[in-house]
Amino acid sequence: MTEAIPRDALHRFVTAPIRASTYKRLVYLLLAFPLGLAYFVVFTTASSLGVGLAFTVVGIPILVGTLIATTAAARLEARLAERLLGRETAHPRSLRRSLDTDDGYVAALRRFLAAPTTWTSVAVVLLKFLYGLAAFVITVTGSTMVVAMLAAPAVYDDPNVSYRIGGLVVSTLPEALAVAGLGAIGVWVVCNVCNALATAGGMMTDVLLSVGREADP
């Protein structure tokens, strides 16, 4: 049993670049920043507007609408985690059930505001921006470095290109092949880092949206 775990981990590491799931996770990471930015801009703009107009007729509806939109965004995040990461993920409480007005609008609003996932959805949306920014920097930087290293044999002798790795100038074929070899190793490293980062994002969404799930009727 204890030997199977390291073997499984080694197998996942070695096969990461050729597994379809790795590239689904890469899509998840690349979507994280634009989605996180959109969530952040819409939430901060709408909530600021709602707070500023809270003493007027339209302020409270704007704030409630912002929370509804935030809950819908968190549900989208849960679905993305399920589709692209292949993991079961908690969802926010159904808006249709929370906002059922059969027992009146006030009761529906109270039920919606009392649901823990109404507020943990806000955390999902705000943290998604920070997570997406980190994911974008790590994914793009790592991928760019690997591609540049793999391209060394093709560009090292180009008179229009000064190929450097840190302070080392790559000017011979053996040096270029050595750099490309490091780039090949980098492919495995970047793929596994991206897998781990995507897993962390899905776990964050699941943990936040699991709050109060046991008490949800």
Q: Which residue has the higher pLDDT, 45 or 113?
A: 45
Residues in the chain: 217
pLDDT one-digit tens code per residue, 20-54: 999 999 999 999 999 999 999 999 999 999 999 88
Residue 21, class by beta-carbon neighbours within 10 Å (0-12 exposed, 13-18 middle, 19+ buried)? middle
Angle formed at CA 199 by CA 194 and CA 200, multiple of 5 degrees: 100
Q: How far is CA 190 from the centre of its chain?
A: 16
Given pLDDT bands bounded at 50, 70 and 90, which one contains residue 6?
Answer: low
Would you call 194 helix, strand, or coil by DSSP?
Answer: helix
The widest CA-to-CA distance across the chain, in whole angstroms, is 78
Contact 149, 189 (CB under 8 A): no
pTM as predicted: 0.85
pLDDT one-digit tens code per residue, 140-173: 999 999 998 998 888 878 877 777 777 778 888 8
Radius of gyration of the chain (CA): 23
Alpha carbon of 93 to those of 79, 165, 217: distances in Å?
14, 51, 10
Please name the residue that has the structure tokens 């996770």.
25
pLDDT(3) > 60:
no
Residue 138, class by beta-carbon neighbours within 10 Å (0-12 exposed, 13-18 middle, 19+ buried)? middle
Contact 33, 40 (CB under 8 A): no
Q: Which residues contact 14 (CB under 8 A, 6 or more apart)?
A: 188
pLDDT(181) > 80:
yes
Give pLDDT, residue 214.
Answer: 52
Q: What is the DSSP letter of 56?
A: S
Contact 26, 60 (CB under 8 A): no
